[in-house]
Amino acid sequence: MSTLIVPCMGRKLANGIPQYLNRHPNGKLLIERSIEGVYTDWYEKVLVVLLAEDEKKFHSKSIICREVTKYPIEVVALDEMTSGPAETVYEALRRANITGTVVVKDADNYLKTEKVPQGNFVAGLDLNVWERDIHNLRNKSFLIVNEQGNLLDIIEKQVRSDIICLGLYGFNKAEDFIKAYEHLNDVSYPITKLYVSHVISYLIGYSGRVFHYVPSLAYENWGDERLWKDMQRDYTLYFIDLDHILGTEGILTEDNKMKLTTLQNRGASFVGYTVENEYYKIEALKALREAGLNFIKIVYGCPYSENKEIIASEEELENKVIEL
C-alpha cells in the first residue's frame, strides 16, 4: 500500500482564501496542480491534511472533494495548528492509521520527475542545469548528494550545495517516519520546529536508511506573494495586434516567431485581433499554427481605434464611466 500525503496547514492566504484553494492559470485548484505532477496509480489514496477551521470558514474539504475528482482524495482535518510540517505528517499518519510506503508532497509547488520514484527518496533541483532564477535561496533546504546519487544529508535554510530540495519526500515505511519523529520530539533534542528534512537526516544518520536523490524535470513555485506574481506573469494572456506583428501580408518573421515562442514556452497564451476580414484571419491562423504557436482565438473586423484597454472588474468599469 502506498499513500501520498499533502499537508495544507500553512496559513498562507491569497485573494482572501487559503492559497491551495486558489486557481492555477490553467483553471485547476492549486492543490490539484500540486498533486498532478507526481501522481501515480501506485497510490491507494491521496491524504490531504487541513486545519479544521478552514472547513468551517472556507468549506475547504467540500470544495476539494467536489472539484478534485481525478484522484482518490481523503481529508484529515486537525483541530489545532501543528508546530511544523513533520508534526503535520506525523498526526496524519497516526489518525488515518497509515502503513506501508508514504510519499509527502508540499502543496505550494508543482514538479515532475522522469518517473515517479518509490521507496526512500528526496526530489531536488540542480541549480547548475536549471536555466531560470530561483527566488529566496536562503529559505530553501539543500541536498548533499554523493557520486552514487544517494543523500548524505539535507540541510535546512543554509546554502550548502547546488541542489535544492523541492518538497517531495518518499519513505519506504510509514513506521520509520513515526519512530524517527518521536525520537526527535524528545526534550533532549533542541529543535523547536521539526521539518520533514530533520526526520530524513535522522533516518540517514542514526538508522542507516539510504535515501536516493531524484532530479526534477519541471518546477513551479507559488509559495509566497512574489512567486505567485511571477507565475501569473509567466502565464499571461497576451492580446496580439496581428496587423503590426504579421503585417497586411500575414507574414511572421523569424524574430517575432522566436519571441512569441519564448513567451509560449513559459506558459503564455495568445488572442490575436485584426482590422482585416475573415479570410485574413484564416490565413493568419494557418501561419501561426505552422510556426507552432497556439492562439486561442483570432478576432477579425476590429475597429481602427488606437486606444485598446482591458476592463477586468466592476471597479475598473465604474472608473472608466467616471472618466468620461
Helix (H, G, I), strand (E, B) or coil at 19: helix
CA distance 318 to 2: 54
Total count of domains within the chain: 2
CATH number at residue 30: 3.90.550.10
What residues make up the domain containing 312?
236-323
What confidence tens digit (pLDDT) does each residue in 115-164 have?
888 899 999 999 998 988 787 787 889 999 999 999 999 998 888 889 99
Whether 62 and 135 share a structural domain: yes
How far apart, in whole angstroms, are the C-alpha atoms of residue 257 and residue 238?
15
C-alpha torsion 195→197→199→205, nearest 10: -150
Please give the pLDDT value at position 163: 95
- Same domain, yes or no: 92 and 185: yes
Residue 248 has what pLDDT?
78
**Residue 215 φ then ψ, to 5°:** -75, 145
Cβ atoms of residues 286 and 293 within 8 Å: no
User: Which H/E stretch holds residue 46?
Assistant: strand 43-51
Whether 231 maps to a domain, the answer reads: no
Is residue 275 helix, strand or coil?
coil
With a cut of 70, say whether residue 190 has pLDDT above it.
no
Least confident of 67-71, 182-186, 213-217: 182-186
pLDDT in tens, 195-226: 999 999 999 999 999 999 999 999 999 988 88
Same domain, 24 and 164: yes
Number of Cβ within a 10 Å radius of residue 16: 7
Q: Which helix (H) or strand (E) holds 273?
A: strand 269-273
Could you say which of 169, 199, 224 is where a domain stops?
A: 224
Distance set, CA 4 to CA 261, 262, 306 (Å): 35, 34, 53
